[in-house]
Amino acid sequence: MSKSHLSYRTSNPALNSNTFKSSTNGSALFIDNTMTIQGTVDKTAISLVLLIIAAYYTYSSGTESMIMIGSIGGLIVALITIFKKKWSPFTVPIYAVLEGLALGSISYIYNLQYSGIVLQAISITIFVLFSLLFAYRSKIIKPSENFKLGLFAATGGIFLLYLINFIMSFFDSGISLLSSNNSSILSIGLSFGIVIIAALNLVIDFDFIEEGSEKGAPKYMEWYGAFGLLVTLIWLYLELLRLLAKMKNR
């Protein structure tokens, strides 16, 4: 893989072109202490197990109060992880648990309204993850510079839309196209587009994890790479829930 990776940009806030830049000095001299793809896969699996256990707890107990606690707590820990990457081995498991608590409560609410929607969203998320991993490894999808810049712009636009919707919520309003209760063709089309953008972010994540492994990033970056994937997967799952809910309302 060429050094041109360093000039690329990623739309995942947890991973950017400088992610590995300051964490590779001298690390290549100690192979056992460097980041590997397999190590990142293992850390991702551990994080997902923790998330699933926490989500199952709130989902099975019908707890709806953990949405704010898990979401706000998860956001705080995520910011700490981004600015203190060396703390990743400790903060990422905590992030996974907090987000799991929030996702379990959210999933419980969705499933009350639309029976079976949670299993559908989980299944599609897993399918998309492995499909895009296969597409990336087999070079069907090549994350070129234009691909990354375009995805960066699209993701930035989506999060600006989220921010506007969040601000409007304080005034008992919001962007109707983002509402799960809006089953118009335009609203479904918007959600479908967001799902595609979220899914394609996985390709960027794979690329940066591979780069970190090739550049001999420190071992703790395996946890940080797992964190980046976790952020994208959580976003993808939530958007799939919203999209499926809209479709069931038709």
Look at residue 132 and tell me whether its pLDDT is greater than 90: yes
| Structure-block tokens of residue 217 | 């990033």
Task: Give the three-state DSSP class for 53.
Answer: helix
Tens digits of per-residue pLDDT, 39-97? 999 999 999 999 999 999 999 988 888 999 999 999 999 999 999 999 999 999 999 99
Q: What is the pTM of this model?
A: 0.86
Placement of tokens 């492995």 in the chain: 130
Question: Is 202 or 174 the better-scoring residue by pLDDT?
Answer: 202
pLDDT category of residue 37 using cuts at 50, 70 and 90: very high
For 203-228, what is each residue's pLDDT tens digit?
Answer: 999 998 999 999 889 999 999 999 99
Q: How far apart are the first and last CA of the chain?
A: 47
Q: Residues 245, 178, 192, CA angle at the centre, nearest 5°?
A: 65
